[in-house]
Amino acid sequence: MERISNYQLFTITVFFQVGTTIMFGFASGAGRDAWLAVLISSFLGMIIMLIYLLLMRMQPGLTLIEWYPAQLGRWLGGVISWLYVLEFIYDAARGIADVKYLIPTTILPETPTWVIGGVFIIVVAYGVSSGIEIIGRMGEMGFPIIIALALLEMILLFSSGVVHTERLQPVLYEGWGEIWRTIWPTGVTQSFGESIELAMIWTLTRQPERVMKTTILAIGCSAIFIGTMDALAVAVLGEGVFQRSMYPMYLLIRQINIADFVTNMDAIGILFFCGLLFMKLSIHMFVAIRSIQLLTSIQNSRILVLPVSIIVFFIGIKMDSNSVKHIYDGVHIVPALLWVPLFIILPSTLLFVTWIRKMWTMKRQASS
């Protein structure tokens, strides 16, 4: 069986949590206080992740889609597990929709969306068919590159003289209302609650006992990364532009201008985005395929790569009529109707049921 190191799990977790949210301006609804909303969201997200980690500890060796049948029975638990499979596929399709809107809007305006989505899904399918070890190695190698690109971007922006830190003040100028509306439910479920998918690969680590520490460190790293980029975007673009822009991080990179010589750094932004999207979409695809394999007892998961890729591609290409609706659904509709039940309500209920069953078993053993 393929295994990944805990460092590879760390990089995969950071890639997954940063994902495409960085390009769309995570917590932009909070305006200049977006960085604060990110930190609070990550703290609450860490609590939610602890629920998943406790479920893993209480059911060693089992993955997410095996938890429910183990505690709720084959039929009810099986139905719930298949709901997660559909959710994984849907989230993967949203990744294809992200790239089909961003690339034509930015650097390739004349390219058909089906070509962009098709090329991207082919590359992702190839990576997924290679297995979790290859995905782990890509995360391991790509992590320092992404960090280097982010540092380069910050250096170039400060060198361009466009960073105005006074735009971040005053803190909490409009109170906590907008911040809490940003945090719940989108801020908590997007990226952090969504990381329940990683419970499908925790059992594939070489040191499962260190998964909790690794995951908590990754959440902290993701929060610092996203919060820093949000604060930088506000300091450069201003609160109004940051909130209204569809792709604030792409617009941020376009502000780089050093003596009219170092300009047009759009390629860095697109490379940054595509690298993060590739890793996140690969995880979506891998966990969907692994889930189907475990639920159907198929021996070779590679035979599932092609059909799942085709399904993800067509859903992504047909999803939403325009980018505005796509973003609106991702911020307002999907978190409340899909993510809260699957990422918070069901796992919390399962934790309670698992704990009751554990206590009942221990009591029966003690009495006998």
Confidence label for 282 from pLDDT (cuts 50, 70 and 90): very high
Phi, psi of 4 (to 5 degrees): -125, 155
pTM above 0.75, yes or no: yes
103 in any annotated domain: yes
pLDDT(215) > 70? yes
- Domain containing residue 47: 6-367
What is the average per-residue pLDDT within 310-334?
84
**Cα distance from N-terminal residue to C-terminal residue, the chain:** 39
**CATH number for the domain harbouring residue 57:** 1.20.1740.10
Q: Give dist(CA 189, CA 335) in Å, integer.
A: 6
Range with the largest mean pLDDT of 33-42, 255-264, 327-336 = 33-42
pLDDT (0 to 100) of residue 122: 94
DSSP secondary structure string for all residues of 235-281: HHH-HHHHHH-SSHHHHHHTT--BTTTB---HHHHHHHHHHHHHHHH
pLDDT (0 to 100) of residue 252: 86
3-state percent breakdown (helix, strand, coil) of the chain, nearest 5: 80, 0, 15
How far is the CA of 278 from the CAs of 20, 33, 104, 347, in angstroms? 10, 29, 17, 27
User: Do 128 and 313 contact (CB within 8 A), yes or no?
Assistant: no
Residues 6+ apart with CB under 8 A from 193: 45, 48, 339, 343, 344
> Which residue type sits at 41?
S
DSSP secondary structure string for all residues of 87-150: HHHHHHHHHHHHHHHHHHHHT-TTS-HHHHHHHHHHHHHHHHHT-HHHHHHHHHHHHHHHHHHH
* Two structure tokens written together for 114: 């089906």
192 in any annotated domain: yes
1 in any annotated domain: no
163 in any annotated domain: yes
Domain count, the chain: 1
What are the counts of helices (DSSP H) followed by strands (DSSP E) for the chain?
A: 17, 0
Confidence label for 310 from pLDDT (cuts 50, 70 and 90): very high
Q: Bigger pLDDT: 191 or 228?
A: 228
Q: Give dist(CA 98, CA 190) in Å, integer.
A: 15
Nearest to 49 by CA among 189, 168, 210: 189
Mapping DSSP onto H, E and C, the string for 185-222 reads HHHHHCCCHHHHHHHHCHHHECCHHHHHHHHHHHHHHH
Confidence label for 67 from pLDDT (cuts 50, 70 and 90): very high
pLDDT(31) > 80? yes
242 in any annotated domain: yes
The 10s digit of each residue's pLDDT in 85-140 is: 999 999 999 989 888 888 887 777 888 888 988 999 999 999 999 889 999 999 99
Torsion angle (degrees, nearest 10) of CA 154, 256, 18, 38: 70
Confidence label for 226 from pLDDT (cuts 50, 70 and 90): very high
334 in any annotated domain: yes
Q: How many CB atoms lie within 10 A of CB 360?
A: 10
User: Do 133 and 3 contact (CB within 8 A), yes or no?
Assistant: yes
pLDDT(330) > 70? yes
195 in any annotated domain: yes
pLDDT (0 to 100) of residue 265: 74
What is the average per-residue pLDDT within 317-338?
81
pLDDT (0 to 100) of residue 286: 95
User: Do 281 and 95 contact (CB within 8 A), yes or no?
Assistant: yes
pLDDT (0 to 100) of residue 81: 95
The burial class, CB within 10 Å (0-12 / 13-18 / 19+), for 363 is exposed
DSSP state of 4: B
